[in-house]
Amino acid sequence: MGGPYIRKYVTPLELPATSAATVQVFTSALTLLPFYVFTGPLFVAAPRLETVGALLLLGVLGSGVAYWLFHQIVAEAGSTFAMTVTYTNPVIATVWGILLLGEPLHWYEPVGGILVLLGAFLSQGKPLFRVRKRQPDVG
């Protein structure tokens, strides 16, 4: 729902992707603020500098850059294409899990990966096969 909304209402404003991403992350944080206020801090112990630094880096470099890229993709390629990126995340995570963590590969993972990638491709509305019409022979 967010992708088409962004394409229809936010992209025409011609805001920089950085501004749109900042507003999106800020709005999310503001939405979660009441849960923090009513449930209290979730810290069991006093936070360390390394922990706060890691959270800030993950927030800025992880979420911030991801939202910035997402808004650029929506503006350039459209919301349908941008949303298909999220479907490929589990496929990429599975590949990294196998390569970096030595996780076992089960038969249903490649089958599911093929279905996900095929679905993402088909959602683009591009034909699987292009049929060329033969030109009649002249002469």
Measured CA to CA, the distance from residue 81 to residue 123 in angstroms comes to 8
**What average pLDDT does range 87-114 have in this prediction?**
90
pLDDT at 137: 66
The predicted model gives 1-6 an average pLDDT of: 70
Q: What is the pLDDT of residue 41?
A: 67
pLDDT-derived band of residue 43, with 50, 70 and 90 as boundaries?
Answer: low
Tokens of 1: 């729902």
Other residues' Cβ atoms within 10 Å of the Cβ of residue 112: 14
For residues 99-114, average pLDDT: 92
- E-strand ranges in the chain read none
At residue 17, does pLDDT exceed 80? no
**Which tens digits make up the pLDDT trace of 68-93?**
888 788 778 777 777 777 777 888 88
pLDDT surpasses 60 at 139: no
pLDDT digits (tens, 9 = 90+) for 22-37: 787 788 889 988 887 7
Give the residue, 20 or 1, on which the prediction is more confident: 20
